[in-house]
Structure 1
Amino acid sequence: MERDVQLVRDFVTAVPCFEDLFDAHVFNEGTVLPHVFFWDVVQETVASFVGGDDTNWRVTLRFLEEQLRLDVHEVTGVIVTSFLLDLPWPDQPEYGLVDHLGPAMSARFTAIRPSG
């Protein structure tokens, strides 16, 4: 199994509230497409942050931080291009989520979006 697909499977195991999203992706695509899946994860994570559901967004950020620290090329690519790049922009009220990124994600975020 490719590392990016394993990332999705491990993520769903760690954050079970995303099982339905995973199942929908597999049903619609015949497989899971990690970059497409994580675009949806961003939307759900931002909604969780705004809605005050601390568990989901905090667990998501913690899991992705741990995975980014492993520095596996395929995994890093998915997290950077399909999660960090899609986070809210400074002029959006949800941007406060960025303040909760761990050190590895924060460093990558600053590198790819230096102005926020």
Structure 2
Amino acid sequence: MTTTQPSVQLVSDLVNHIPEFRAAFDTHVFNQGGVLPHVFFWDVVQDTVRSFLGESPDTADWRRTLDFLEEQCGRGVLGIDEVIVTSFLNDLPYPDEPGHAITLQLGPVMAARFERIRPGG
């Protein structure tokens, strides 16, 4: 019996919970030959910020994505936290970039982790 890594399970759960990520996931798996959570989350960040800015109405609503990730981050599972912190929070726009205000919308768990990795925003 194989056990799915928590980071791969996170990607699977995200796509199942927010189906708007399915096309990006399918393209990712085809191009990468499997699931690479840190790489996939680059697309998640880009789509989430585009949604926040109102630039792409066909992407997942940014609030649903933040809510899902907040819940997952609150579980305290090492592989999950690593992906969310390293490849989502750390890749959010910086203060001089469009969409930076999304960082003010983070839930308490992600906001604390964001403050720890990027104290200046």
Query: TM-score, normalised to structure 1's length?
Result: 0.95
Higher helix share: 1
Task: Count how many residue pairs are aligned between Structure 1 and Structure 2.
Answer: 116
- Of the candidates 57, 61, 76, which is equivalent to residue 56 of structure 1? 61
Partner of 1:65: 70
Change (3 A) 1:2 1:86: same
Identity %: 57
CA RMSD of aligned residues (A): 1.4
Partner of 1:8: 11
Once the two structures are superposed, residues 67-98 of structure 1 have per-residue CA deviations (whole angstroms, 9 ceiling, x without a partner) of 00000000000000000000001112311111
- Once the two structures are TM-superposed, the CA of residue 48 in structure 1 deviates from its matched residue by 0.5
Distance, in Å, in 2 between the alignment partners of 1:80 and 1:55 is: 20
**2:48 matched to 1:45?**
yes
The amino acid across from 1:63 in the alignment is F
Moved more, 92-101 or 49-58: 49-58
Change (3 A) 1:109 1:16: same
- Once the two structures are TM-superposed, the CA of residue 55 in structure 1 deviates from its matched residue by 5.8
Distance, in Å, in 2 between the alignment partners of 1:38 and 1:55 is: 14
Change (3 A) 1:55 1:27: closer
Distance, in Å, in 1 between the alignment partners of 2:89 and 2:107 is: 12
The amino acid across from 2:47 in the alignment is E
- Of the candidates 86, 97, 105, which is equivalent to residue 92 of structure 1? 97
